[in-house]
Structure 1
Amino acid sequence: MNDSQLHYSFPPMSEYVLGNGLRSIWLPDTEQPVIEVLFQVPSGRAHVPAGLEGLSDLTANLMQKGPSSMGHEEYIDTLEQVGASHVLDSGDEHTTFGIRVLARHADDIVPKFWETVTSPAFDDKEFRRMKREMVTALEAEFSDASVLANKHFQAELYGKDHPLGRIPCVNSVKRARLDDVRSFCASHVSPANASIVVAGDRSIEGMEQQWKRPFGAWKGGTVRRASPFPETAPVVENRIRLVDKPDSSQTTLVIGHPSVGEAHPFRNALALGNYVLGGGSFRSRLMAQMRSRAGKTYGIASQLVTGRGAGTFLMSTTTQSGQVDEVLNTIIEVYRDVTENGITEEELDNAKRFAIGNLAFQLEGIGNVAEKILWLRFYGYPNSYIEKYGSTIAGIDLAAVNTALRNALASRGFVICAVGKREEIAPKLGRFGPIRVVNLRAEP
């Protein structure tokens, strides 16, 4: 690979912290006549009070229904007339609000968006409608085996005493009151813990002249800074949760264990190893063994999910219920082979090429660049982390990857979640350890 593939340079930008504590980043780009504003706080689904799971999503969605100075319909109509659109990314540990608008309309629209952040209407009628929509969406998930499997896997892995183990459900959303939304917003949305990026077709000076003063004028409340979530205990023996779905002829499986967080020294080496194990589509070991050779499934993948503190490794697939035990055996055998014996130099080269090449797609367009900058700030990384990412990945050798696999993925036991027909799969799953059966509609 040449130097141009290994190095990236962010566009010129200006960055500083305003007097109210808000980190502001000004990022000009003239490729498209668009302005995008992204506002991020380091709080999300896992920061809500126990019993009110889903509250962060309710809050984020309700904030986008308009500012206190305008009615909901008037606000939405104003956006639609100029083709503006909201951006919303609500995760376990962060929430990002945004607006995307043609540059010629930005002077009118951005202040209105900013008021949805600093003074949201929190209209009771919209709140009740939003709750109904969330409940309907959660009810629909009972027919989606993949969603159910992932929810129950996370709940089983972390448990209800860990913030990541508490999953939104119908009852928790119904339980929420509008006062809970107001309280969550006041406690977690403040300039003191937030970052904002303004990106698009205007000079840095022009952006600052128009929006620096209103951004800095927001006082907000006092917020408690969220700490990274602790790692959960290793899985020393298999724990199996069977979600009984009587009408299913197939079984969806999620199998995994705790892993490292984003800032762990093994993180990048482990990601390369995971690409070989199951992250690399048809070129992965799991796919080659399960689909190409054994013909047991149409697709299987592994994933490394990294938070600021805790991380999760998981493998997922769907197969015919009659061969659940064979599939699980094969998954575990491939996992053990990779973690104990490592990968090859050729496989590592393929993984590196993918990781370096894929970064270009992540940075395509000024909106993606703005999102990546917020990602860097969330994890406390400098811009050079991305600018030198290609050379960092290229410099990881085979020994480092195989060491990471042995140390971070060599779990003695697994959390196994299966969604399928109990009477067909329980005897087969029982060969891997004790089973806890839960009703399809049970809360995770």
Structure 2
Amino acid sequence: MISLRILTGGVISAALLIISGCSTLNVQPTQQLDTAEQSISSLAALSKQSPASRELDIQTWHTNSGTKVLFMKAPELPMFDLRLTFAAGSSKDQNILGLANLTNAMLNEGSGQLDADAIAARFEDLGAQFSSGSYRDMAVVSLRSLTDPQLSEPALELFSSITAQPSFPTDSLARIKNQLLAGFEYQKQDPGKLASLTLFKQLYGSHPYANPSVGTAETVPMISRKQLQDFHRTYYTAENAQIALVGDLTLAQAQAISEKVTARLPRGTTAAKTVNPIARSASQTHIEFPSTQTQIFLAQLAVKRGDPDYPALFLGNQIFGGGGFGTRLMEEVREKRGLTYGIYSSFSPMQAAGPFMISVKTRAQLSQATLEFIQELLRDYIANGPTQSELDRAKRESLGSFPLSAASNASIVGQMAAIGFYDMPLTWLNDFMQDLQKLTVTDVHEAFKRHLNPDQLIIVTAGPTVKQNPLPNPVDRTEVTQPMERQH
């Protein structure tokens, strides 16, 4: 049994934990105040209090079929969330792009004598929810059910049937293919989507991550029912699965559920892990598109799951462009110069190296100046790192918002599924927060220098070719807001 202490800080975190039915909050009471000004002061005071905590006790075992299980008891509500994760994402498509996505989408279209309508009606009658999804690394199927055996047992039976024995009806296959083809046509009208597809091709070359998870207009129509069956038989196996289970269950009940769900799955082997991509040379690609704005992406390969530098990269990115308002990118590009409504940066660790990416949309006439300015900001950040005050603020904000990842059973089961799939320590959530608190300016600076090179960026833009204007001068927002402040 592993005990994780999830720290909660701030009014929003506390409120969401209360809504989710958590009863172990240690939130300090606040004095009731009469005026709006006093109320706002009280919220500021509350945000500075020591974070509350919630204990997460994770237990793990393997089923008789060889499936790893992570379970956490959560008795606050009479329900449970189950997530079954398979190493069956689009990285396993090989040359049949879209096969993993289509297989996953077809699971609840039929099983035995039941068609899609009958399956949906039965889940609704039982008060249960089924969902599924396919991504680059993984495919997931999830069930939320009440714990009353009269409802949970038939819900689990139906869930097990459609996961292990889908019928892949031909009429549903044709319908879903048509839906995907309509989506591909819509993508042609979205410069952001076109730029994103091109970006991943430029980043990953011949690596599986280069391909869109949903496939293409050329490959999807060619996928056959037999290929779906073969893919399911190969990858939707007990040995290639992980279970995350959270809810109002005893250990014995959780063990029985995991055995029931995995016993009917095909037997097979664990899928090979995705190989690491080879970094490609810097490049810049422009997609001509008739619009008033230009979409800009800057990216490079950066980090995979489990890298010891990830806490430092995460915290540093919260300062640079991942933390919303107050980041360097938002302050310099939006607030001071009005070049965009929003600009963001992110690290996306996956089983193999995932990208660091900056995304912004700006007026076409300012696209070149904006691009060059962003490159200057990144170059300066990699060269000099954050300030101590930026680091301290980012720590407070991250430690206050990170508990939202454990604010409900659904969010907890998602975190546990990732821990199981990527074979991370069961204490990962707690370790991550402790690592954040220990980080220094030097730690963050060195991590960025190790993983990012401003001269190796893959750049993709999508928009019209128009005459370019120079970068506008920054606006001193302190002077703009000062008269208003004096009125108070």
1:181 to 228, 231, 251: 228
1:424: Cα distance to partner?
Answer: 2.4
Aligned residue in 2 for 1:88: 132
Gaps of 5+ in 1: 429-444
Structure 1 position 3, deviation (Å) = 9.8
Q: Partner of 2:341 in structure 1?
A: 298
Structure 1 segment 194-233 matched on structure 2, within 5 A? 194-209=241-256, 211-218=257-264, 220-233=266-279
Amino acid at match of 1:47: K
Point out 4+ residue stretches in structure 1 off by more than 4 angstroms: 2-10
CA RMSD across the alignment:
2.2
| Paired amino acid for 1:24 | V
Counterpart contact for 1:7–1:387, Cα < 8 Å:
no
Structure-2 residue corresponding to 1:73: 117
Q: What is the CA deviation profile of residues 182-229 of structure 1, one whole-angstrom value per residue up to 9, with x for unaligned ones?
A: 1111111101121112322232223434x3542353351323522133
Matched-pair contact (CA < 8 Å) for 2:238–2:268: no
Alignment TM-score, normalising by the size of structure 1 = 0.89
Q: CA deviation at 1:138?
A: 2.1
Q: Which moved more, 1:67-76 or 1:348-357?
A: 67-76
Change (3 A) 1:414 1:80: same
Query: Which amino acid in the other structure matches residue 380 of structure 1?
Result: D
CA distance in 2, matches of 1:206, 1:187: 29
Residue identity in the other structure for 1:76: A
Letter in 2 for 1:261: K
String of CA shifts for 1:19-43, please: whole Å, max 9, x gaps. Answer: 2111123333222222222100122
Alpha-carbon deviation of 1:365?
1.1
CA distance in 1, matches of 2:307, 2:454: 17
Among all aligned residue pairs of Structure 1 and Structure 2, give the percentage whose two residues are the same amino acid.
22
What residue is the counterpart of 1:434 in the other structure? none
Pick from 165, 171, 184: which aligns with 1:119?
Answer: 165
> CA offset at residue 374 of structure 1?
1.1
In structure 2, distance between residues paired with 1:10 and 1:383: 13
| Cα distance in 2 between the residues matched to 1:225 and 1:284 | 40
Q: Check if 1:329 corresponds to 2:372.
A: yes
Q: Does 1:390 align with 2:437?
A: no
CA displacement 1:230-261 (0-9 Å, x = unmatched): 132153x3x12222223x11111111111121
Aligned AA for 1:60? N
Partners of 2:287 and 2:219 in 1: CA distance = 20
CA distance in 2, matches of 1:152, 1:416: 10
Distance 2:428 2:53 in 1: 10
Aligned residue runs from structure 1 range 129-168, under 5 A = 129-159=175-205, 161-167=206-212, 168=215
How many pairs align? 419
Is it true that 1:312 corresponds to 2:359 in the alignment?
A: no
Q: Secondary structure at the match of 2:345?
A: strand
The question of whether the paired residues in 1 share the 8 Å contact of 2:110 and 2:116 is answered with: yes
Aligned to 2:293: 250
Give the conservation status (yes or no) of the 8 Å contact 1:263–1:309.
Answer: no
- Match of 1:413, SS state, is coil
- Superposed displacement of residue 364, structure 1: 0.9
**Structure 2: gaps (5+ residues):** 9-50, 470-488
Offset of 1:264 from its aligned partner? 1.8
Q: What letter matches 2:75 in structure 1?
A: T
**Cα gap change, 1:216/1:282 in structure 2, threshold over 3 Å: closer, same or farther?**
closer
Contact 1:141 1:148 in 2 (8 A): yes
Secondary structure of 1:231's counterpart equals: coil
Letter in 2 for 1:149: A
CA distance in 2 between counterparts of 1:260 and 1:396 reads 18
Aligned partner of 2:321 among 272, 278, 282: 278
Aligned-partner SS, 1:283: coil
